[in-house]
Structure 1
Amino acid sequence: MADNVYRTPAVQPPTVDKLRQIATKYGFGDTSEKDLQDYQVHISHLLKAYTKVSEYPEPTLPVNYPRTPGYRPGKEENKHNAWYYKSEIKGAPNGILSGKNVAIKDCIPVAGVPMMNGATMMEGYVPDIDATVVTRALDAGATIKGKAVCEFFCLSSGSSFTCGTGAILNPFDKTRSAGGSSNGCAVLLANGEVDLALAADQGGSIRLPASWCGVVGMKPTFGLVPYTGVATLEPTMDHVGPMARNAKDCALLLEAVAGCDGELDSRQRYDYTPPKYSEMLNGDLKGVKIGLVKEGFVGCEGEIDLLVKEAAMKLTAKGAVVEEVSISMHTDGAHIAVPVIAGGAYNHLILGNSGIGAKGYYPTGMISVGDRAMKSGYRELTPTLKKLLMLGEYVNETHGVKHYARSQNVSRLLAEAYDRVLGDYDVIVMPTIKFKPPKLPTGEPSIHEYLSAVFANIANVASFNVTGHPSLTVNAGFAEGLPVGMLICAKRFNDVMVLRVAHAHELIRDQK
């Protein structure tokens, strides 16, 4: 087609009436008819650029291994409601993950396998790409066993009853919460149905369900693992990380998926080469200094306080030095993180600005489906999402992005507070969650139950999303038969240290 032939714009030109509505909304509705017509002509001309871009085929992500869509398992093989879809995708014949079965959180696309991201509005969507972490796991020899459910658009860390497919049940007590939002992964691991899981964490979503389900969950250093292709919630806090039943397997999965993804994810550092994490866990902590963060224990249930402190003190048997430390700013860590989480969710999820402003690969199919689903079905949103929509609209109208921006700036002070202590200590430790998993609602949850649960348990975890420090939870024991997590955090890009400490703890905990 000749360059001078007119093409229908990908976005239809606006009418003068539509431009008048927009002008009125933003306070310049007194613009004359003639001026509006001039705006219309020039905007229509610019829209031709959208047509030109649409003529190019999009670069996509590789899909390298044969698969079938799989199936939705019935109740008999999904007793804790942790599976969304079961399928089987066999990876490379050899690799560090050979013989390992993996579940994928349902915010991470797997080509050809339905993806719902916990939301009824997304049901029926089938991705045509594999996220980079999926490809890397398969390249390392893993077998993917299917998609694990998650909370509605991954936005409820404190509950496990907002998913569109129903409540996810705690494997130790079906009447209690399994945490969120990566609860499907945590439950499948605890039940022994898979060996490993890949999940995402923006405010604790890996570590919280791992804690309440008694497994290992790790949020790596920000940017260590590529987020390429995964549903975004807040680009400055998006993390993909490994989950497993033990630190050694967690290290194997991290080793398989970590590292730079070219220029496909601007969250990453291009100059960093990850070590072989799995080869660095020997149980020896000689010379390792561990700081018990005093503020992280404030408000803890007594049994949880005792279990975590005892577990930490036992690490002296492996050569560690354990001392109490104070990081006063930790008390405000979740408060600093919430405006970023809420602002990101409003901007990228509610408004549909999925990842805008970042350099890299955009999963346009997923973005389009999510945007259409959101704009056609606000009534279908959970109370959690409706709260964030109303909060976002109110804050945006009254303060703009000031509080989001200020939280981002203050997060640097928080990071410096942790780094000062981590200059003297190799890791800092505290409880992952300060209380035992609560009972699930009986019957239809009330608005109060929805809204109370959303950020109820993030006090010790959300800080490290906004600062980017590596953070891992490992089971410290049981209180009234329910798992208690110990949170281990280290300097950025010292991910191996949290794995080393967790592994040493497991050797002590599990010795007969």
Structure 2
Amino acid sequence: MTDAHPAVRPPTAAAIEDIARRYRLDLSAEDVAGFLGLMAGPLASFDRIDQLTAPAAINRYPRTPGYRPQPEDNPLNAWYWKSEIPGAESGPLAGRTLAVKDNVCVAGVPMMNGTRALEGYVPDADATVVTRVLDAGATILGKSVCESLCFSGGSHTNDTGPVRNPHDPTRTSGGSSAGSGALVAAGEVDMAIGGDQGGSVRMPASWCGIYGLKPTWGLVPYTGAFPIEITLDHLGPMAATTADVALLLEVLAGPDGLDPRQSAQLAPAGYRKALTGDAEGLRIGIVSEGFGWAGASEDDVDEAVRVAAGRFADLGASVTEVSVPWHRDGIHLFNGIAFEGATKLMVEGNSMGTNWKGEYNVGLLDAFARGRLTRADDLSETVKLVTLLGQYLQDRYHGRYYAKSRNLARSLEAAYDAALVDCDLLVMPTLPMKATLIPPGDAPREEVIGRALEMVPNTAPFDVTGHPAMSLPCAVADGLPVGMMLIGRKGEEATILRASDAFERGVFARPVPA
């Protein structure tokens, strides 16, 4: 029986003529009529697809929708939504509280991803990482504010207002996992989940003075999180101590069978076993190209990180200076990938895109598509810049620079791998400067975008290559935290965590973790 209201309405001749012009096809009226007739068969498939029911996730942990906190209960503006969700009665995270970055789906709890274009969307299924922390016994206290579509290293582009740094409320907490960093630093939660495509776990970790790890690409499943660019997408743990980062990573890591970013060869490890407090025999390489960025690096930050890296020698490691000239080109390759890639997947592809075997969140796609098209002017200035330039590059150069950047990424990756033959870890400042002032509400576009993108030259290259990288607090300058970044071989998060733990205990005299 034919449905009177088909799922996909048949195209008109005018619609096909318009598409033909866009693709430079010279079709006659007879050609158009012929193709319209040939489309009847395939169109019937879409009617059948809409009749079928896709597999539905089972959310085992009851929750209430919660509430949007009032400003007086949210002084850092770091919470988007509060909703207490207790996990299993026992497990490695039992008794621990956790915030989830608002680009990650929590069933029944509103998700905005920092933009009015998605406001009102409520996921119907938990992301894999949410299920895992609840299975491990954590209590989720809510969703932490993130930047608009996660495209900012500052904390001022989200549509709920700027997230404030706990160390100085006039300054940014870093982005895009802005709320996650601020809430952990303020002690409102024990740990948090962050996302990282250009440094968005490590940047707020650095400026808020906590620990944040971007794992090897594919170690932690991205299923159920709003993507930016599949080859850059990472989720990772943020916490007040190395021990809690290691604990949370043990819970998050491992394949889920739904994320094509993941590889069966990349197996999780018992990361807490690496926390010996001992750096004896580790070989640390200070990457000279990570310092002295013209117009960005601050002398006190560079000096603090060099001094901190030198402290590893006191802990039994060897410390040498190494050169990785390719590192200076990492930011250029990131730009070549992120602008076009994000435009195709995140914007034109309505957050899901095509051509990957994974779990597609159809409800999220529908909600964002409607919001993007009806509230395009509400997108942040950074997202507008990405869309305009990314589409221009596609239109004018047809993907050439994305393709060449991805090919050159193998050379960048090989350069880091070569340095990691003679070194176990590479070291540089996480960010070249201390936390910047939050731009005023009437700041010009140039200032808004400048404060959003200026800090990424050291963090973004490792999203391109997929190497694990972690920010740990190493000093305070002018009352503001300074982060030191440790970079390891792929799959060797344990080595990074071992070094971070040794530094934390040896320099800050933290007690042995229980």
Q: CA separation in 2, counterparts of 1:9 and 1:249?
A: 52
**Structure-1-length-normalised TM-score:** 0.97
The answer on whether the counterparts of 1:234 and 1:355 sit within 8 Å (CA) in structure 2 is: no
Residue 140 of structure 1: how far off its partner (Å): 0.7
Q: Does 1:320 align with 2:317?
A: yes
Relative to structure 1, the CA distance from residue 461 to residue 31 in structure 2 (aligned partners, 3 Å threshold; closer, same or farther) is same
Structure 2: which amino acid aligns with 1:34?
E
Partner of 1:83: 79
Partner of 1:147: 143
Structure 2: which amino acid aligns with 1:178?
S
- Which moves more between the two structures, 463-472 or 299-308? 299-308
Q: Does 1:464 align with 2:458?
A: no
Q: Choose the corresponding residue for 1:113, options 96, 109, 112.
A: 109
Local SS of the residue matching 2:265 = coil
Residue 444 of structure 1: how far off its partner (Å): 2.0
Residue 443 of structure 1: how far off its partner (Å): 3.1
The answer on whether the counterparts of 2:213 and 2:236 sit within 8 Å (CA) in structure 1 is: yes
Partner of 1:181: 176
Partner of 1:305: 302
Residue 6 of structure 1: how far off its partner (Å): 6.1
Structure 2: which amino acid aligns with 1:378?
A
Local SS of the residue matching 1:423 = helix
Residue 11 of structure 1: how far off its partner (Å): 1.6
- Which moves more between the two structures, 368-377 or 39-48? 39-48
Partner of 2:130: 134
Matches within 5 A, 1:227-246: 227-246=222-241
Relative to structure 1, the CA distance from residue 42 to residue 6 in structure 2 (aligned partners, 3 Å threshold; closer, same or farther) is farther
Partner of 1:10: 7
Matches within 5 A, 1:152-171: 152-157=148-153, 159-171=154-166
Structure 2: which amino acid aligns with 1:266?
P
Q: CA separation in 1, counterparts of 2:58 and 2:191?
A: 22
The answer on whether the counterparts of 2:107 and 2:123 sit within 8 Å (CA) in structure 1 is: yes
Local SS of the residue matching 1:54 = helix
Local SS of the residue matching 2:484 = strand
The answer on whether the counterparts of 1:106 and 1:147 sit within 8 Å (CA) in structure 2 is: yes
Residue 318 of structure 1: how far off its partner (Å): 2.1
The answer on whether the counterparts of 1:470 and 1:492 sit within 8 Å (CA) in structure 2 is: yes
Residue 416 of structure 1: how far off its partner (Å): 0.2
Partner of 1:222: 217
Partner of 1:294: 288
CA offset digits 1:165-189 (Å, max 9, x no partner) = 0011111111111111001000000
Q: Choose the corresponding residue for 1:395, options 393, 396, 410.
A: 393
Local SS of the residue matching 1:328 = coil
Partner of 1:198: 193
Q: Does 1:281 align with 2:275?
A: yes
Q: CA separation in 1, counterparts of 2:4 and 2:424?
A: 61
- Which moves more between the two structures, 334-343 or 42-51? 42-51
**Structure-2-length-normalised TM-score:** 0.96
Q: CA separation in 1, counterparts of 2:441 and 2:288?
A: 39
Structure 1: which amino acid aligns with 2:150?
C
Relative to structure 1, the CA distance from residue 111 to residue 510 in structure 2 (aligned partners, 3 Å threshold; closer, same or farther) is same
What percentage of aligned pairs have identical amino acids? 45
Structure 2: which amino acid aligns with 1:201?
D
- Which moves more between the two structures, 101-110 or 310-319? 310-319
Structure 2, unmatched stretches of 5+, are: none
The answer on whether the counterparts of 1:232 and 1:355 sit within 8 Å (CA) in structure 2 is: no
Q: CA separation in 2, counterparts of 1:21 and 1:169?
A: 48
CA offset digits 1:368-424 (Å, max 9, x no partner) = 111111112211112111111110121111101111111111000000000001011
Q: Choose the corresponding residue for 1:97, options 93, 97, 101.
A: 93
Local SS of the residue matching 2:319 = strand
Structure 2: which amino acid aligns with 1:326?
S
Q: CA separation in 2, counterparts of 1:250 and 1:62?
A: 28
The answer on whether the counterparts of 1:474 and 1:485 sit within 8 Å (CA) in structure 2 is: yes
Structure 2: which amino acid aligns with 1:145?
L
Structure 2: which amino acid aligns with 1:91?
G
Q: CA separation in 1, counterparts of 2:48 and 2:149?
A: 33
Matches within 5 A, 1:356-435: 356-435=354-433
Q: Does 1:265 align with 2:259?
A: yes
Structure 2: which amino acid aligns with 1:458?
V
Q: CA separation in 2, counterparts of 1:445 and 1:58?
A: 46
The answer on whether the counterparts of 2:98 and 2:139 sit within 8 Å (CA) in structure 1 is: yes
Local SS of the residue matching 2:82 = strand
Partner of 2:340: 343
CA offset digits 1:10-41 (Å, max 9, x no partner) = 2211100111111122223x421111011112
CA offset digits 1:286-322 (Å, max 9, x no partner) = 1110000000012331111111111111112221111
Q: Does 1:46 align with 2:27?
A: no
Q: Choose the corresponding residue for 1:64, options 55, 60, 77.
A: 60
Q: CA separation in 1, counterparts of 2:425 and 2:168?
A: 32
Partner of 2:477: 479
Partner of 1:251: 246
The answer on whether the counterparts of 2:430 and 2:485 sit within 8 Å (CA) in structure 1 is: yes
Structure 1: which amino acid aligns with 2:77?
N
How many residues align? The count is: 506
Q: Choose the corresponding residue for 1:445, options 416, 422, 443.
A: 443
